[in-house]
Amino acid sequence: MKLYISVDMEGLAGITHWKDESEERERFRKAMNQQVEWVLEGIAASDRNEEITHIMIADSHGGGENLSYDLLSEKDGRVWLISGSPRPQYMMPAMDDSFDLVFLVGYHGGAGQPASSMDHTYSSAAVQNIFINGKLMNEATINAAYAGIVNKAPVGLVIGDSSLEKQLKEDGMMPWVEYVNTKQSLARFAAMYKPKHLVREETIAAVKKVLDSDYTKLPLYTFDAPYHCRIDLATSSKCDVVQQMPGIERTGGRTLELELSDYTKLFNAIQGIANMSRVAYC
């Protein structure tokens, strides 16, 4: 059995602002590694622990230089760590159809979600909304679709803040997933943290619950091809730059649309548009 774990930052406990990463780098990295270590503890506690041969972990925040290869390797000898950026399939790199189950760790609400910890969808500076086949998306659902459509692997567990839990559970984006709430988001840069030992205990219990269940019955998050994507950018000048790319149609002052029959190509295009528009003129 092979597990794939994609790790982001904004949905972690103990983090409220991007400056935590730059101004308190050591504490930030500790929090991120610690949350992953709790996931590994849950795996070790599960009845299927001995069946698991690979634990692929993708460091999927920023430049992908946050998780410690040494610490995680010492914690569990089955860990394969993906670090660095840029790379294809940014938050889900090196995934293929040999993986059985996906966990999303440290994830957050999409751009514009009320009372959401550091809400954004790939780029807070550039992207306002992303829709695929008419559905509003966030990073969790875009990545879950890549796992489901391309690799036929379900997402069984999501760990993140209260705003993402609302989107996935109450708003019906992925109501079937097991969810660990790391913090109660009060505003974009404000949150209420519960005791750390509770986050650890709930993480271990949730990982064990998912692994010990019949995860093969979990639904895949999918769309029917062709995949039509609408992206609303922050400013018209960003669209001025990105619209020059082939296959992209500008349908409004701040709106771009594209349609592809290959979800991997769309998946990479979304990240490319976010990166290009992030550095484009304001």
CA-to-CA dists, residue 166 to 57, 201, 281, angstroms? 25, 21, 34
40 Cβ neighbours under 8 A, 6+ residues apart: 55, 72, 75, 76, 79
Residues 73 and 75: their CA atoms lie apart, in Å, by: 5
Q: What is the pLDDT of residue 138?
A: 98
| pLDDT reported for residue 46 | 98
pLDDT (0 to 100) of residue 96: 96
State how far the Cα of 162 lies from the Cα of 181, in Å rounded to an integer.
Answer: 6
Per-residue model confidence as pLDDT tens for the chain (282 residues): 999 999 999 999 999 999 998 899 999 999 999 999 999 999 999 999 999 999 999 999 999 999 999 999 999 999 999 999 999 999 999 999 999 999 999 999 999 999 999 999 999 999 999 999 999 999 999 999 999 999 999 999 999 999 999 999 999 999 999 999 999 999 999 999 999 999 999 999 999 999 999 999 999 999 999 999 999 999 999 999 999 999 999 999 999 999 999 999 999 999 999 999 988 777
Say how far residue 80 (Cα) sits from the centre of its chain: 18
The span from the CA of 162 to the CA of 214, in Å, is 26
Provide the strand spans (E) within 8-63: 54-59
Mean pLDDT of the chain: 96
Domains of the chain: 2-120+138-217 (3.40.50.10780)
What does the alpha-carbon distance between residue 252 and residue 256 come to, in Å, rounded to a whole number? 7
C-alpha R_g of the chain: 18
Residues 275, 277, 278: CA angle, nearest 5 degrees: 65
Q: Token pair for residue 37?
A: 């270590």
* Res 77: pLDDT: 98
Angle between helices 196-212 and 25-45 (to 10 degrees): 40
Distance of alpha carbon 182 from alpha carbon 196, whole angstroms = 9
168-205, pLDDT tens digit by residue? Answer: 999 999 999 999 999 999 999 999 999 999 999 999 99
Q: DSSP assignment of 195-259, as one string?
A: PHHHHHHHHHHHHHHHHHS-GGGSPP---PSSEEEEEEES-HHHHHHHTTSTT-EE-SSSEEEEE
- pTM for the full model? 0.97
Which residues does 165 contact at the CB level (< 8 Å), separation at least 6? 158, 179, 181
> What is the rounded distance in angstroms from the CA atom of residue 4 to the CA atom of residue 14?
24
